[in-house]
A = this chain, B = another copy of it.
Amino acid sequence: MIRVVVNGADGRMGSEVVKAVTADAELALVGGVSLTHVGEDIGVAAGMQALGISMGNNLAAVLDTCHPEVAVDFTTPDAIYENAEICLTKGVHMVVGTTGLTAVQRERLGKLAAANGVGLFIAPNFSIGAVLMMRFAAEAAPYLPNVEIIELHHNNKLDAPSGTAILTAERVAAARKQAGAAAAPAHTQESLRGARGATVEDIPVHSVRLPGYVAHQQVLFGGQGELLTLRHDSLDRKSFMPGVLLAIKKVSGHTGLTFGLERYL
């Protein structure tokens, strides 16, 4: 049994992780840290205490009390860097789902993990379907170099384009470049600004924001007389749990930084 602490255990994602870890026979939930500054207490803390599981507001104290092997972090962009420093310094492997770390910060934390002999796993998306979509997009790009991306989310999502869309565009562009494949030139002029979307590495990205949507993305490839479309729909946060559980089980075997769930597939 791998001993697990969930940081942000009463957040939207963290509370799903609490349930998923508890239900997994290979994992033992030994502690949680509250996300009280966001004020999303949704009954998890009380439930965990009823089960005899430590639940606190101070990450370092919870780690010292519970002695986990792995800490899972679903907190906030402003807290994640410090959280990671605390865990890695104490020799705890980390699985990070919190967004907001820059590439430079990831590298620095990766060195800290390596120096302490532990694994640091960071992923922008824990859904296996989304990871496959990105992999297939990169595989198709050398053969069908003309690509656009449409991502569709609920109207409460604060940013556009989504992190997954940007990452997809970067991987497609890299694969295309490595293969020496080039997109056909475009002959279109915008008569209204924004019609042709944002541009990430020469790839147009379009962001739809409407109530009703959850998290969806389409990668559109156009060729001579044919179209290839990859589409991923996340309809429930449960879709991220298989990826989180997989990462918890694998992280101790990979010292230093690992970025992206596809590295463990």
A188 near B158 with CB under 8 A, answer yes
Cβ of A236 under 8 Å from chain B: yes
* Alpha-carbon distance A130/B130, docked complex (angstroms): 21
A206 near B208 with CB under 8 A, answer yes
Within 8 A of B (CB), among A209-238: 209-214, 220-238
Within 8 A of B (CB), among A136-165: 136, 139-140, 143-144, 146-148, 150, 152, 154-161
Chain A interface, DSSP helix/strand/loop, else mixed: mixed
Interface size of A by CB at 8 A reads 76
Chain B residue nearest to A148 (CB atoms) is B208
Known contacts A157-B188, A188-B157; A211/B224 CB under 8 A: yes
Residues of chain B within 8 A (CB-CB) of A158 are 187-189
A160 near B198 with CB under 8 A, answer no
Known contacts A132-B143, A239-B225; A159/B208 CB under 8 A: no
Residues of chain B within 8 A (CB-CB) of A198 are 190, 192-195
Known contacts A155-B184, A161-B195, A223-B239; A132/B234 CB under 8 A: no
Chain B residue nearest to A207 (CB atoms) is B195
- Which residues of A are at the interface with B, using a C-beta cutoff of 8 A? 127-130, 132-133, 135-136, 139-140, 143-144, 146-148, 150, 152, 154-161, 184-200, 204-214, 220-239, 241-242, 265
